[in-house]
A and B are shown apart, each in its own frame.
Chain A
Amino acid sequence: MKKRPTRFLLLLVAVTSLVGCGRSRPALNIYTWADYFKPDIIRRFEQENGCRMVIDTFDSNEAMYAKLKAGASGYDLLTPSSYMVSLMHSQEMLRPLDHGLLPNLVHVDPEYLEIAIDKTMDHSAPYMIVNTGLAYLKSKVADFVPSWSMFDRADLKGRITLLNDMRETIGAGLKSLGYSLNSTDPGELGRAKEVVLGWKAHIAKFENEQYKTGIASGEFLLVHSYSGDILQVQRENPDVGFAIPREGTAISVDDLVIPKTARQVRLAHAFINFLHDPRTAAENTIFLSYLCPNKEGYALLPVELRDNPAVFMPPDLRAKSEIFADLGAANALYVKIWDEIKSAK
């Protein structure tokens, strides 16, 4: 009986010593995607500002939102996608940005701002632009056409994946029919549903991340995917091709926002400003193979990115592509259709 308490106390001490450490510099708490900033850049910011960056990660916008809505707080900066930003803004969860602290925002590409949802960058600043498209194995897919109709190809049956994302996949259906991917018209949505149901018969599964490994290893031949991911895969497997469908596609943007409950507001602003320094923007772009819409940063990019249509969409394609808007109450319409798509045999 005497031995056990001491052993237990030792265990307790060991545990607490592993967990707690001294805190001297202010900490900037960021909640973001994993590996979303170049590590070098983090270190530079920490040194220049005498602070500590605490980076927590989430794996989906929805998970982050569910957590914040249920009451979690303590984060100073978030990187949600712009449709999520509209939702959070409508729920009054975000702070307006103080442009006095953000001189570098003048570098933001005005062409991007034209199609942006938060055009004046009132409560969000763009960080990375992602284009959705089709990735395919050049040697195995004959007669590839850059069009959403590729999902109709019965000869590829069982080797295709669609994104497991309600907006992306229903959106692809809408785009293939020439409609807007923010449509709330029940007729258009119904027709899009039929298209997606036809595609569903050809897919191996709905997949959001593992299509990268899938196409790189030859498990899949045609995947519904994001541009940056595929650019990274291409470095390893040059047989992988990527194309934006000619009917237009979805453009996703991840924005930098500051929640109302943030504590280190000045530091958060400083970081946003830092990210839009043209050199930093270019470095992050190269690191992720996505695109930071910083006009002065474009000039600092290597040729293979500047000339890549997956990164810089040709103007005619860009005119047909759209950014996701939050649907508000119409979300329920999409939910119903997605349910039907998911449960159909």
Chain B
Amino acid sequence: MKRSTRKKLQEALVSSPSLLWLSLFFLFPTLLVFILALRPANPYGGIGQGWTLQNLRRLTDPSYLEVSWRTLEISLITTVICLLLAVPIGYYLARLSLRWRNLLLMLIIIPFWTNFLIRIFAWKVLLHPEGLIKHLLVFLGLAGPQTSLLYNAGAVVLVSVYTFLPFTILPIYAAADKFDFQLLEAARDLGARRFQAFYRIFLPGIRRGLLTALLFVFIPALGSYVIPDIVGGPGGELIGNKIAQRVFVDRNLPLASAISAVLILSVLAPLIAVLFLQPKGKRPEIL
């Protein structure tokens, strides 16, 4: 009896700072978003009285489906590329000696302490139609003189990968660091090929890191709007741009909230299913 109450007390104590903080400063404002989604808007940017489903109804417009699809595509591609690059790097980092490891880690993160916008502008210089990269590609025959490296989906993916890469590398490194690499050697001794050992032992060994990395890219990518705004083309609007437009240009906060609410729910739904539809007392798959 005493052991379990002591355990419950411990649990409450350790969880309380983040639970309380997030409930106060995050849960409450987020609930506001869901409430706003059900309110009417007035044309002057204010929020009307009463409840309405008109915002949700407006979301059934086919243009939203198109934008959502495009956003999903670009976010998925960005995520896959980021993971493909981050796993080998996390692997390599974890095998280095401590000193080199910290050095390399700093080297990777330092570029991201400059400003986000300035980095994007630097990419615009790099991908300029009269720039070096373009000349190189034309010289190699990989591009025609009229092809534009900017203002298309490719540019959005490139800059997005650049922006989100450190957020994938760090959690994978955190997980890989504790991985016992001798397991891989043992597998090799038992006859496994290099790739087999990597795929069947290393990856599962860092599965939480992989999942975290995936979340750190995919979800922010879904909501991003600055990158498509600056390097995307005229037909390349993503759902984040739509939300921004609703807030600023249309002054329609309720509609923006409705879009966000749908976005939030569609990402949360799988999580909630996994977390709460499992037998109590069993460790949830995701943890």
Contact = CB atoms under 8 A, between A and B. Distances in A.
B129 interface: yes
A318 interface: no
Interface string A91-117: 100000000000000000000000000
A278 B243 CA distance: 44
B154 interface: no
Contacts of B230: 210
Interface string B36-71: 000000011110000000000000000100110000
Interface stretch (A8-16, A118-126, A197-205): A197-205
B198 interface: no
A219 B251 contact: no
Given A205-B232, A343-B237, A60 B43 contact: no
A258 B44 CA distance: 19
Interface residues of A, number: 33
A170 to B, nearest CB: 11
Nearest to A87: B44
A207 B52 CA distance: 35
Main secondary structure of the interface of A (DSSP, over half): helix
B128 interface: yes
Contacts of B146: 158
Contacts of B281: none
Nearest to A331: B43
A203 B130 CA distance: 18
Interface in A119-163: 158
Interface string A270-291: 0000000000000000000000
A204 B249 contact: no
Contacts of B232: 205
Contact of A332 (B43, B66, B128, B129): B43
Given A69-B45, A210-B230, A331 B251 contact: yes
B234 A218 contact: no
A339 B43 contact: no
Given A62-B251, A65-B45, 8 more contacts: A60-B248, A66-B45, A204-B151, A205-B151, A210-B121, A331-B43, A332-B250, A343-B66
Interface of A: 60, 62-63, 65-66, 69, 87, 90-91, 158, 164, 166, 200, 203-206, 210, 213, 217-219, 328-329, 331-332, 335, 338-339, 342-345
21 contacts: A62-B249, A66-B45, A66-B248, A158-B146, A200-B234, A203-B234, A204-B150, A204-B151, A210-B121, A210-B124, A213-B121, A213-B124, A328-B43, A332-B250, A335-B252, A339-B63, A339-B245, A342-B234, A342-B245, A343-B66, A345-B235
Interface of B: 43-46, 63, 66-67, 121, 124, 128-130, 146, 148, 150-151, 229-230, 232-235, 237, 245, 247-253
